[in-house]
Structure formats: C-alpha cells, structure tokens
Structure 1
C-alpha cells in the first residue's frame, strides 16, 4: 500500500461535497474543512445548516437531489446510506454521475470489518478505483462515540450501567470520530491522494470489559459489561430491527470475540502527525 504523508503539500481544492454532513464523521469533516478555509457543500436530507458551509438537500434514494448537490464540487466525502444491505445499487449510479459532473476525488467511509469486494459497501470500495483517478477508502474500527452519543450502548450505559455484547473478551481498536475526520480531511485535500484503503484505529485495543472499567473510573458511575451469546444478542437486536440485520450485527460481535478487530494501526499518526486519541481522553474531554 502507498499512503499520503504529513509532508505532502495541500492541493487547492475547489468545493468538497460532504454527504452525511450532520452525521458522526460527516459533521466533523465539514467543520474541519471549513475551519481550514475550504469551500464545502454540506449535504443532508433536510439541508440542515452547517456553519461556514453551503447547505444542500441530498437523499441517496432521490436522484432529483443529486445534480444540485454535485454542482461545482470537485471532490466528495461519501457516507453510505444507513442500514442498506446493498448500497452499491444507489451509490454507483451517483458516483458515475459525479465523475461526469467534474468530481475527480472521492473518499469513501467504509469499515474495518468490510474488505474490498466484501458485502455491502465493500462492492463500492472495489469499484471506486475504476471511477476516479484520486480516491481513498477509510476503514475505521468501531467508534468510541458509540459509548457517548445516541448509540444503543451509550443509552444502555446511561440508563442501566450495562454494556451488553456477544464479544466475550475480544478486543477492538476503538477510534475517535475526530481522528476519522482528521484523516478524511487529509485524504480529501492533500496534493497526493492516498489511492488505497486506510484502516483506522485508536492507539490501543480494548475489550468491552476494559471500556466498562474506564467509563466507571472517569465518570464515577458504575458500568459493567454483560456478555451474551450470539443467539441472545441476535434476539435482543431483532426487537429493534429486521432479523436479517440483527443477525449481521450479532455476527460482527462474534467476529470480535474471535479476534477479528484485535489490531492497532499507525494510520492516524502517519497522516495527521499526531497520535490517535485514547478512549480515556475522549471521556475526560466530555466530562462536565
């Protein structure tokens, strides 16, 4: 793999279209771009205002919104449609349209759990190099913000003091969404595009028991990890979503238990010039 580096000089992009500009990584990426003086079109389903950016309406499933969003953009940050088991069906026609409209660099948010050519967004990952000369695929590990925002884990921590998973003692290189956004900005604006996929993790691999312990120590509120079987996790999730999707998510927990996410990369350090943030630092930053 070849990657960009902190020594790369920044190019002079025209306008970056940030899809999902009100989401976890999209909002942070848009904010970092505008703070650095870049022009940004912040795309969301309701054209929600974003400071310093031009808000535009965008819906993956409404092609009538695509032309206006793409107008004037020369690069794009891609957040796949949430919960779609086959996002390529709507994403690939849009990306072909984007190329025709003048977009020459695309940065796709994928997942460390999904390789090139894998299921769901893995199909888009495989197609990206054939569509754009300049591209990158960000493959972050699980977000630290899952324990502090509106994710089911965060809600369970606040309401019950429990994190329920089927991960056993498996470890994950949880990553701060701020670090994902920092890498996204480099991938979008550096003179040389990465033209590869980038696995992003935090600086340490932690089990969910570790997460519970750190949360207890920093917040002063007792939190425990409650281990479940794959079947128990699947059925718990099936009460909230279709069984097929619940099975996929429970399967990801099982993969963690088997060691699939027990790794740490130096990608954040190499591309931003600073170490990836720790989970403890995230909690301390958010503590009142």
Structure 2
C-alpha cells in the first residue's frame, strides 16, 4: 500500500511547516500549498483563486487545512474548496481551529461543522494560544523587544500556552493514523499561566526586564487597529482577550501525550530553547503580522 499524499495548506506557516516536515519524516507524500511556490514539493494555491484548487488537490488523499487568516467568515471561502476536494477523492481533513472558537462562534465556528459534514474522516484541532507568539513578528514579541512590555486585555486570566511543535505532532497523527480520529482535539501545554507569569519566566530565562500591562478591551482593540488590523477583526481579537480574563482558557488537556505518546513542552523550556532567536529578534527590525493571535 502506497503512502498517502497530503496537501498542506498554510504549508510555510507556524504549524503548516512543522506538519509538512513531520509528514515527510513519517514517509508520506507531502504537497505544500503556497502563494509563491518554491521547489518541487510546493504548488501554487490561493484561497481567492479557484483555478488553483484543481492542481493542488489532484491525487491528494488528505488535507491539513489552515483557513484563510483574517476572514471573519472563512466558511464562505472554504466551502467551495472542500466540495471540490471531496469530488477529487479526498477522504480525510484535519482542520486547524482554535480553543477560543466553538461551534457557536459566529462566522469562524461554522468551519467545524463544515469539515465534519464534508468528509468521512476528520479531526478539528483546537489549540490554545501559541508559545511562538512570544518570538518572531507577533505583536506580543514586538512589545517585548520594543518596550519590555506585553500589553493585553487579559487581566489575571490564565492560558495553557502550547508549542506549535506539539500542535503539529498531533496533526501528523490525525492525518496518518490508520483509524480516523473523528473528534475535536483541544490542544494545550502542560500548565496554565497568566501573561504576568509568562513575563516573569521570560525575565528569569533571558535576564531582560519584561512586564505585563493589562488594559481595557476597548483600549486594546484600538491598539490592534493601529497595527493595521481591520476594525471588526480587531474587536474580535480584543474579545478573545476578554474571554481569557473571564477564565475561558484556564484549562489543561492530555491531548498531546494521549495522541503523540510524549509530554507537551513547557513554556519555560520553550523560552530557554528559543533564547538565541529571541535575543536576535530584540536587535532586529520586524514587520508585525496581524491575526497571529488566533492561528
């Protein structure tokens, strides 16, 4: 029996690149979807250009599905793609969602039911907030570098931050396991932390003064808008911070060890492991990428 061919959308992103690497290491045929493909493993794919769907889907058995970032109702874009995928013979889809999004979340939540109904074999990954938000171009990381401050509207709310490596490991198993998972996976790290506690860990591991400043929801939405994010999406992101403040993310699950057979990585270990990158980032000029808070 030949190894499955998996189309990885968002294949150069935080999780997609790791999923692609994990699939390849497991022997699967990997096809990386990209707006600007490079190399023979990548193929041109653009959510807003349906002409790119057919070539990307040809011969694919499964899809790692990262929905279009920044769309408040991505189901409108994804549904025609999934319809074409099923017609092309795709049987399994693993969707990247968010622990902050449920079936009842207007717009974004519709994706979950869409995937469950579209294919016979599926999984919905609902990871908590990424540890990778503290490095690179995410606004949290930019604040650490620029002012030594992490500004949120989360108050003392706690989050079980999760490493994208662990999310990808769960995704690979969901894509390749002989039996389909056919379930939602709420993926978390091994402990919950407030942003103030996360800042303290960063300070301890790096020797740099880092603090958390909690602001009101309206003020935070305004700050997000100033970074270039559309007003409706900025309000959505600010609302997610408010949900954290209310305790929505204060939970730990056993999904990572249950699915992968290894423990989820801790926040402290992540910071220690990425200190070199974080230090280099502090001296670099970066571009803030909107929308990274969710995906």
Task: Using structure 2 for the length normalisation, give the TM-score.
Answer: 0.91
Q: How does 1:112-261 map to 2 (within 5 A)?
A: 112-240=99-227, 241-261=229-249
Residue 13 of structure 1 and its aligned partner are, at CA, apart by 4.0
* 1:42 matches 2:32: yes
* Conservation of the 8 A alpha-carbon contact between 2:75 and 2:114: no
Q: Deviations over 1:112-155 (max 9, x none)?
A: 01112432331121122221110000000100000012101111
In the alignment, structure 1 residue 26 sits paired with structure 2 residue 16 = yes
Q: Distance in 1 between matches of 2:73 and 2:34?
A: 20
Distance 1:74 1:96 in 2: 14
Partner SS for 1:24? coil
Q: Residue 198 of structure 1 aligns to a residue in which SS? A: strand
Aligned-residue CA RMSD (Å): 1.2
Structure 2, unpaired ranges of 5+: 277-295
Moved segments of 4+, more than 6 Å:
none
CA change 1:117–1:228 in 2 (3 A) is: closer
Cα deviation, residue 37, structure 1: 1.6
Distance in 2 between residues matched to 1:83 and 1:242, nearest whole Å: 9
Alignment check: 8 A CA contact 1:20 1:78 kept = yes
Question: CA separation in 2, counterparts of 1:12 and 1:207?
Answer: 46
Show CA shifts across 1:142-173 (max 9, x none): 00000012101111111211100010000001
> Distance in 2 between the 1:259 and 1:80 partners?
26
Q: Is the 8 A contact 2:148 2:210 kept in 1?
A: yes
1:45-70: CA deviation from partner (whole Å, max 9, x where unpaired): 11134xxx711010110001110000
CA distance in 2, matches of 1:235, 1:223: 23
Secondary structure of 2:78 counterpart: helix
Q: Is the 8 A contact 2:128 2:249 kept in 1?
A: yes
Q: Is the 8 A contact 1:13 1:189 kept in 2?
A: no
- Report the Cα distance in structure 1 between the residues aligned to 2:190 and 2:38, rounded to whole angstroms: 34
Counterpart of 1:4? none
CA distance in 1, matches of 2:27, 2:114: 31
Structure 1: any 5+ residue segments left out of the alignment? Answer: 1-10
2:264 corresponding residue in structure 1 = 276
Q: Deviations over 1:84-138 (max 9, x none)?
A: 0111111011001000101000000000011124323311211222211100000
For these two proteins, the number of residue pairs brought into alignment is 275
CA distance in 2, matches of 1:219, 1:97: 49
